[in-house]
Amino acid sequence: MRILVKLFAQYREGRFKTEYKEYPEETTPQIIIDALHLEEVSPLGCVDGEWETC
């Protein structure tokens, strides 16, 4: 299926603002988050592993 992925604020850095992507029918939001490595960036802009200094 074709999904429009929209990234906001700090999640766009080094990525894209909006982009259509093809995913299998059984794709979950978590699969997309993992594929884009979005959990490595916090809402505060911290990169994974730098939580103490953020």
Q: What is the pLDDT along the chain (54 residues), one digit of tens a residue?
A: 999 999 988 788 888 999 999 999 998 888 888 888 887 665 555 555 554 554
Q: Give the model's pLDDT for residue 51.
A: 46
DSSP type of residue 48: T
Q: pTM for the whole thing? A: 0.62
Q: Give the model's pLDDT for residue 40.
A: 66
The 3-state DSSP class for residue 43 equals coil
Please, are residues 51 and 42 in contact by the beta-carbon 8 Å criterion? yes
Q: What is the DSSP string of 6-42?
A: E--GGGGTTS-SEEEEE--TT--HHHHHHHTTGGGB-
Q: Give the model's pLDDT for residue 47.
A: 55
Please count the structural domains in the chain: 1
Cβ count within 10 A of residue 3: 13
Q: Which domain holds residue 12?
A: 2-53
Q: Give the model's pLDDT for residue 37.
A: 84
